[in-house]
Every structure is written in structure tokens, then in C-alpha cells.
Chain A
């Protein structure tokens, strides 16, 4: 079945450590997105990519990095510069930037 796969479901980070969250889609979508969701709040855009080898910062990009080397993959690295990384991270994709987005099931990141 076509869809978006995020892994792992749960992730723990030690102080000073970088961690990478995986997002893979087999929908042949050009655009991919990363969002952060804090408890009881809506989603905030971290980074987005409208095409392979290109990406733009969203509203809260500081302390995060991404790459888009393949159409189906858009990994997110939470760096040690992100001082409050505990949150629920959601990846999404869409055929183009203006079409409906499809979401993965998320990764919950916590600090050890």
C-alpha cells in the first residue's frame, strides 16, 4: 500500500547528541514536510522540500537540519543546538505544494 513511513516510533536523545528521524514515502510525491507538535498544540513547520535537492526553512528551523537526496526520503536531524527537542514529530508529503498533505504516524522524541 502507498503511504508515509516514519521511524522509529519512539526515540530517546542524550544531552549533546544528534539524532535522525526517518521519513520515507512511496506515493511519488514531489513535496515533503516536517512538523513539530507540542502537547495540546497545533503543528509548526520545521522544514519543507518541494523537489529533490532543494529545501526551505519553515517557522522553527533553528536546531534542525534536513536533506533531500532522493524523492522518497526526507530525513530530519535534531542537533544538539535544539535545546528543547522533546515533542511529537510528523512528516507529510503532497503531490505539489498546494495539494492536500498526507501524514505519517509520527515519532515521539524524548530526552534521557
Chain B
């Protein structure tokens, strides 16, 4: 059974610092991996999706890497801003391609 882990559970950084969020998964037979953002009391917003054949995806200040063989993905957020404060979740779709398995999330606070 696929298990997804995110460490640390919470992170606090000063504004302007780069953020590094980690995600690990136990079964490397994945179809793709997604990073989401969740604001308090809200649904999820998709940030980046990496197909299993890709090594990374970039969108603005966000960059996500994928190392399928070691079961790891990292989300980098450059030059953090207070508006980046949120919970970030990673999720993988297994090789069958029909179910997302989520990590527990990393709660980020960017201090002005």
C-alpha cells in the first residue's frame, strides 16, 4: 500500500528566504505526483503536476523535482512572501492511474 510522508510538518521562515518542502513515497510505481496548496478552511489548489517520466516542473517561483527511483519529490519556492503562508500537500497517483494518495502536509508560515 502506498504511503506518502511530508517532513517537516511545520516550517517558519523570514520573508525572502527560499522554501524547501520534502515529500517521500514508498511505492515508486507512480503515474504522476501533484503538489497542492491549501489555505485555512479552504479546498485544495493544484500548483504543479509532474508525470512519472519527468524530472521537474516549474511555474513562476515554484519548482518541483521528482526522483522516482528514490521515492522523493521536493518543492522549492523562491524568495518567499507572506502570501505563501499555507499548507502544502503532495499526492501521488499509483500506476493504475485512478486514486490520489496524500501526504500529511507541511504548514508554512512566512514572517514579514
- Counting CB contacts under 8 A, is A53 at the interface? no
- Counting CB contacts under 8 A, is A100 at the interface? yes
Chain B facing A: main interface SS: strand
> Is there contact, CB below 8 Å, between B32 and A98?
yes
B35: shortest Cβ distance to chain A, in Å?
11
Interface residues of B in 32-70 (CB under 8 A from A): 32, 34, 36, 41-46, 49
> Is there contact, CB below 8 Å, between B89 and A58?
no
A42-B4, A97-B98 given; A106·B105 CB < 8 A: no
A40-B104, A42-B4, A100-B49 given; A106·B99 CB < 8 A: no
> Is there contact, CB below 8 Å, between B46 and A105?
no
Residues of A within 8 A of B (CB): 4, 6, 31, 33, 35, 40-45, 48, 50, 58, 88, 90, 92, 97-98, 100-106, 108
A-B contact pairs, 27 of them (CB 8 A): A35-B102, A40-B104, A40-B105, A40-B107, A42-B6, A42-B91, A42-B104, A43-B44, A43-B89, A43-B91, A45-B99, A45-B100, A45-B101, A48-B98, A48-B99, A50-B98, A88-B41, A92-B44, A100-B34, A100-B46, A101-B100, A102-B46, A103-B44, A105-B42, A106-B41, A106-B42, A108-B41
